[in-house]
A and B are shown apart, each in its own frame.
Chain A
Amino acid sequence: MEREVITMKLARSHVLVCGGTGCTSSGSEKLLPEFDIQLEKAGIKNEVSVVKTGCFGLCALGPIVIVYPEGAFYSMVKIEDVKTIVTEHLLKGRIVKELLYDDSIDGAAIKPLKDVDFYKKQLRIALKNCGVIDPEEIDEYIAFDGYKALGRVLTEMEPKQVIDIIKQSKLRGRGGAGFPTAIKWEFAANQPEGKKYVCCNADEGDPGAFMDRSVLEGDPHSVIEAMAIAAYAIGSDEGYIYIRAEYPIAVRRLNIAIEQAKKYGLLGKNIFGTDFSFDLSLRLGAGAFVCGEETALITSIEGKRGEPRPRPPFPAVEGLWGKPTILNNVETYANIPQIILNGAEWFLGIGTEKSKGTKVFALGGKINNTGLVEVPMGTTLREIVEEIGGGIPNGKKFKAAQTGGPSGGCIPTELIDTPIDYDSLIEIGAMMGSGGLIVMDEDSCMVDIAKFFLKFTVDESCGKCVPCRIGTKRMLEILEKITSGKGTVEDIENLKKLAGSVKSSSLCGLGQTAPNPVLSTLKYFEDEYMAHVIEKRCPAGVCKDLLRYIIDKEKCKGCGICAKHCPVTAISGELKKPYEIDQQMCIKCGVCEIKCPFKAISRK
């Protein structure tokens, strides 16, 4: 391979600024030029290198800036703070304590990142380089052993040996179903020689998840390298990454990465001087959840309506343009180079008996440390929520966590010690899914959450088969009836029956899993459903039609502010005497509750 030997820029300090989507949304983009200006002014521009990296994981505290060699972890950095960091920390060597992330301070010293609660229990394999390297510089990836696995595979291994290592590692797909990766590859490898394709599923359809996006934004080359390895293993020379158009930063970085890899001869013809060639291009999705399903995704790459088709034939036999095709998830690929480099034994040492390695989760909802976490399989939900996630905000109580998005289920408090792996989650009626993990507290209504997911499925059903198209709609209607206070006990029975038939008779995974959120909330929170239908009450106080705003006569001072703000004049009374709300007229907008200076109004 002909190319210059590269060294990372030598500088006395490195400033890493998160350029992931979370931090970009909270303004990290503006910090970079400001660092340039301030470093220039301080006259130390040549001594400090400023790098835009991928996600550090702690998105709730963005924008995040880390300064090495000290490892100072600055959170919620504002543009005016840049000057302070430059003049104090970088120029005078005084760490700016006020701007440090609280948990990273240990008395007078700062803790190394690996000792901060948020990171302590994490183990980063797929996210190894995220937040560490500049994803737009292939040289940095290479400096961290990038493309070494591909080199080894092409020059020292037979395709079958590659598949064997993956098989020994017991790697299972991270896209949701947990199918053994090597089996899929073996199928495709065993097809007669000829055109074959390697595809990557970067459609990330779960509506509250951003793991794959962070890998692509923070470390795009790891996926490219892995796809080339997969291509060698199955005898393919062409691949596609199917990525959602809603991910502009990831798309841009992938394009840059592919260009750079081509320039370095790591994609294209005769890679590493061998006779192996591999070309890679991107295909953008266009906002259809069902396109995450493998057969639909393949049809969409062909430029058509992304409707699923029955399997078999499986894509490994008949996929893209009728040719043998393997499709893996982004995170699955991100593990491959590490397994090749460190060996199957190393990977087998992490995780549980049947689920090896780590899993990345997008932790969101009612949790203090919203963000991205990667933990060994088998870590309990409690560890994730309480230790890594820092618990529930505002002193509220944990109620349940939802994994697997619209195909998954919830895990209630009683099961918070469940180890998170593929099989334990299935056993309790949830599923691993692709890694969305949404935490809910006592203010979340489980019937409402089930309705939320079902609404999503109804919107996203492609309409090809009847059970999914009509069945999910009927189920949604029943849930709407229940949340508006018109439900009956029979409705709940019908809901269960419908759920069963949609599950068993839908064509693709979308329909087959759509009832899961309903079934699992019914399993663990049936009393909450019952409160809606029998007492016409929403215990969490979410379902509007069942709410009543009540004025506490003890607390009301009769100031009349509520009556003034009520948009439908449902509140009346005499000044200095307790007011009253006319429940017939009330539209439950909640303005009075917010406006009352004495907190005398509450919803029940």
Chain B
Amino acid sequence: MSATCSIPFNGTPEQEKKLNTVIEKYKDVSGSLISVLHEAQEIYGYLPIEVQKMVSEGINVPLAEIYGVVSFYSQFTIKPKGKYKVAVCLGTACYVKGAGEIIDRIKTRLGIEEGDCSADGKFSLDATRCIGACGLAPVVTVNDDVYGRLVPDDIDGILDKYTD
């Protein structure tokens, strides 16, 4: 049922320039692959195979190793994220306070599963671990906005704010 967006990769020259600066900075630092990937993801929003190839050539690490690292760590994503990144905390404190019902409600409303992005590219949904706001449990973030002490009925009102 999940309709994921499959926008073809379209990196800009500016992005590539930024990536090259990053590569330059880390080229000779041992063990820097993860740092490079963090910054590359910051630039492109995700790490499609095209970006991994550029990194591979830039810092001279085999693509297979890069892919191995990208797929190992959950923070790295090879799928693009939505314009609005919805993240539901499924840390223990939030779970005990009903985060499971919150994420179910969001899935129904957006028609997507965890890790996916809606067909129009607007929303993506992720489950996160404790974001350190347990006092506000259960917690949902949309980009940098934090919403706490939620009940499932709050979800529609929150998502309605992100329309443009």
For the complex with contacts A22-B134, A26-B146, A59-B133, 18 further pairs of A-B residues with Cβ separation under 8 Å are A25-B131, A25-B133, A25-B136, A61-B135, A208-B91, A208-B94, A214-B132, A283-B34, A284-B38, A286-B37, A286-B73, A288-B74, A306-B72, A362-B134, A365-B137, A438-B93, A438-B96, A453-B92
- A288 to B134: give the CA distance in the assembly, Å: 20
A436 touches B72 (CB 8 A): no
Q: How many A-B residue pairs have CB under 8 A?
A: 137
On chain B, the residues within 8 Å of A452 by CB distance are 92, 95
Q: Mark B116-159, 1 if CB is under 8 A from A, else 0.
A: 00000000000011111111110100000010100001000000
B8 within 8 A of A: no
B92 touches A370 (CB 8 A): no
With contacts A207-B129, A303-B32, A303-B34 known, is A370 near B73, CB below 8 A? Answer: no
With contacts A288-B74, A364-B92 known, is A210 near B130, CB below 8 A? Answer: yes
Picked from A207, A302, A304, A321, the residue with its CB within 8 Å of the CB of B92 is A207
B33 within 8 A of A: yes
Measured between C-beta atoms, what is the minimum distance from A63 to chain B in Å?
11
With contacts A25-B146, A59-B134, A286-B75 known, is A440 near B96, CB below 8 A? Answer: yes
B44 within 8 A of A: no
B90 within 8 A of A: yes
- A26 to B131: give the CA distance in the assembly, Å: 13
A561 within 8 A of B: no
With contacts A208-B130, A283-B35 known, is A366 near B135, CB below 8 A? Answer: no
Interface size class of A (residues with CB under 8 A): 35 or more
Pick from A301, A438, A449 the residue with the most CB of B within 10 Å: A438
Measured between C-beta atoms, what is the minimum distance from A420 to chain B in Å?
18
- A366 to B137: give the CA distance in the assembly, Å: 10
B68 within 8 A of A: yes
B129 touches A246 (CB 8 A): yes
A370 touches B135 (CB 8 A): yes
Picked from B74, B90, B97, B148, the residue with its CB within 8 Å of the CB of A207 is B90
B148 touches A26 (CB 8 A): yes
With contacts A208-B92, A364-B93 known, is A213 near B69, CB below 8 A? Answer: no
Chain A residue with the shortest CB-CB distance to B37: A286
B46 within 8 A of A: no
B92 touches A365 (CB 8 A): yes
Give 18 A-B contacts (CB < 8 Å), ordered by A residue: A22-B135, A25-B133, A58-B135, A59-B136, A207-B90, A207-B92, A208-B92, A245-B38, A284-B34, A284-B38, A288-B72, A303-B30, A303-B31, A304-B65, A362-B93, A364-B137, A365-B93, A370-B135
B84 within 8 A of A: no
A22 touches B136 (CB 8 A): yes
B132 touches A21 (CB 8 A): yes
A209 within 8 A of B: yes
A235 within 8 A of B: no
A286 touches B92 (CB 8 A): no
Measured between C-beta atoms, what is the minimum distance from A306 to chain B in Å?
7
